[in-house]
Every structure is written in C-alpha cells, then in structure tokens.
Amino acid sequence: MNMVLQSIFSAEFVYSILRMATPLILAAMAALLTKKAGVMCIAFESIMLFAALGGVVGSAFMHSALLGVLSGIFCGVIVAFIFAYFVLILNANTVLTGLALNTLGSGGTVFALYVICGDKGTSTSLSSLTVPNVSIPLVEKIPLLGSIVSGHNIMTYAALLSVILVYIFINKTALGLRIRSIGENPQAAESVGIKVVRTRFIAIVLAGVLASMGGVYMSMGYLPFFTRDMVAGRGFMAIAAQNLGGGMVVPTMLSAILFGAAEALPNVMQSLRLPAETMQMLPYIVTITALFFVGGTHKGEGKRHKK
C-alpha cells in the first residue's frame, strides 16, 4: 500500500495523468462544442478511430509527422461531416446516426487496416511517425514542476491550448454566442436571423477537428502505431466529462483530467497484484460513479410531471 501511495504522490504519476488525459480533454472540448450547439453527438469514438488510423497511414506514406496529423484530422472531420449531414440536412435521428458511425468506425478501421498493411490487429508493419515530445526550456529545470509540466507530447500542449481557445471561442466571440443561443432556444435564434443549421454544421465540424486531434494522439503519441479499437470508449468518456463539467469549459477539462487519472492509476497500482482486468475497469467505474453524482443536479425535461 505504501508503495502505491508513494507512486501516486510522485511527479511521474502526475505526468502520466496529463498523458492519459490528453485525448480525453480534446474530445471533451469537442463534446462541449456540440452540446452548446444543441446537438447530441455520440460519434466521437468513430471520429477518433478514423483520425488515429488516418494519422498513422498519412505519416507513413508522406513521411511527415505533420502531414500525418493533418491527414488524421482530415479523416476525422469527414466522419463529423457525415454525421452533420445526416443529422442536420437529412434530419436523421442523432443517436442512431452516432451509433451507426461508431459501429462503422470499429469495423471500417480494421478493414482499412487490413487492406493497407495486411494485418487486422495493429499497424506495426507501417513505418509511421510520431509526434515528438518537447521540453520547455527553463521550466524543465524547475524541480518537481519541471518534470510534471515539461517533456510532454506536442499534442498534450495542444490539448491544453484547445481548452483556452474553446473558452474564448464560446464565451468571447460572436459565433460562440450564436452557438450558445441555438443550443438553448433555436426558435429565438432563428427569429433574429441566425441560420440554425449552418451554425450547427460549423460547430460539429469544429468539434470534429478537436476530437480528431485526440484520435491522432492515440496512434502518434500515446502509442506509436494503430491498434484496433484503440480509442476504447474515450469518445464516450469525453461526453461524460462534458456532462460532469456541467457544460462549462474549465470544469469539463478538470473532469477529463479526473478520468485521465483513473486511466493512469492502474499502472501505479500494479504492485497491489490485483488482476489487470479489474484495474482496467477503473476509468469506467469512475465515469459511471461521476455520472451518478452529477445526474441529479441537471434540470431534466422529463421532470414536468413529477410531483
């Protein structure tokens, strides 16, 4: 037990939380954008998976990590685009569309993987590149803090930056104001000339970019290759983080970090000799526990008839 506590209160553990939280923060920011626009998007799993594969394949064929990241984002945005088209233009059910895309993501990436590298499990046969880690000069020299904050993957810094950008976008720009208004009262927004469908489309595509970055990180930072279903529910945990954060940017980020901690914890608790499977359940147990506590605090529509 002592060993576990020691490892929890260590710089390496805090460092690994940020590492684990990176894709969650990015996807949670994406979930926040769609939520603000009043769209229940659950397609992040699929967006992230396609982006992860797209990044690996792009970097392998174009021999550039940057082009790999861009092609990953491109793939993810296409999925977001399909989602938006079905939901906004064809008026398909949002949850069904999301489910269909997620199922497609799970099967489609394996299919594409097999076609490209003849393997149904991982992309290790491709010589794909990774996004490098960077050390922050000066900061890295600060004891303790340096070893937590410095030396992360570029995508981790991008994730933290995205929190600031999303905050500014939603709260300080005209488009953000419009997105908030269509999410809350689309009729009111429409009555003053805001194009609801177009604005929602923009929000979904922007969310697609953010979630795709989270996906790319999975295969070009967290791991140096793609494996099947490597997103492993992170798209859903992001939605949970967004809920837990009550639709606010900073609490959403903190929730994503909490879930990140739940993912990092199993590594340091190996010394307890619990079965690995038990430890792997932890993030999901934390998620559902968190939702239990947050559930009662939101105003639900179904409560009109409750006495």
Partner 1 sequence: MVNNEYILSMENITKVYSNGFVANKNVNFSVKKGEIHALVGENGAGKSTLMKILFGHEQPEEGKIFYKGEEIHIANPLAALDYGIGMVHQHFMLVPSLTVAENMVLGMEPKKGVLFDYKTAVERTREISEKYNLLVDPEAKVEDLPVGFKQKVEILKVLFRGVEVLILDEPTAVLTPQETKELFTELLNLKKNGYTVIFISHKLNEIKEICDRLTVLRNGKVTGIADVSDITEQEISNKMVGRNVMLNIEKEKAKPGSSVLQVKHLSYTDMHGKQVVKDISFSVRKGEILGVAGVEGNGQREISEMITGLLSGQTGEILVDGKALSGASIRDIRLSGVAHISEDRMTYGSVGDASIEENMISERYYKKEFNRNGLLDFKRIKECVNQLIQNYGIKCDNKDAQVRTLSGGNIQKVVVAREFSSNPKVIIANQPTRGIDVGASEFIRKKLVSLRDEGVGVLLISADLTEVIETSDSIIVMNNGEIAAYFEDASKVDETILGEYMLGLKRQSKEEAGGAYYAE
Which residues in this chain contact partner 1 in the complex, by CB under 8 A?
168, 172-174, 176-178, 180-181, 184-185, 187-189, 191-194, 307
What is the nearest approach in angstroms of partner 1 to the Cβ of residue 130?
33
3-state secondary structure of 83: helix
What is the nearest approach in angstroms of partner 1 to the Cβ of residue 176?
7
Nearer to partner 1, 14 or 170 (CB): 170
As a three-state string, the secondary structure of 244-283 is HCCCCHHHHHHHHHHHHHHHHHHHHHHHHCCCHHHHHHHH
What is the nearest approach in angstroms of partner 1 to the Cβ of residue 183?
9
Tell the burial category of 89 from Cβ atoms under 10 Å away from its Cβ (0-12, 13-18, 19+).
exposed
Nearer to partner 1, 93 or 185 (CB): 185
Torsion of CA 130, 17, 258, 288, to 10 degrees: 70
CA distance 256 to 234: 10
Given a contact cutoff of 8 angstroms between Cβ atoms, the answer to whether 285 and 279 are in contact is no
Residues contacting residue 197 through CB under 8 Å, at least 6 positions apart: 88, 89
Nearer to partner 1, 140 or 190 (CB): 190
Nearer to partner 1, 172 or 273 (CB): 172
Beta-bridged to residue 153, according to DSSP, are: 133
Nearer to partner 1, 273 or 305 (CB): 305
Chain length of the chain: 307
What is the nearest approach in angstroms of partner 1 to the Cβ of residue 71?
28
Residue 232: in which H helix or E strand, if any? Answer: none
What is the nearest approach in angstroms of partner 1 to the Cβ of residue 246?
12
Residue 226: in which H helix or E strand, if any? Answer: none
Nearer to partner 1, 94 or 181 (CB): 181
What is the nearest approach in angstroms of partner 1 to the Cβ of residue 31?
18
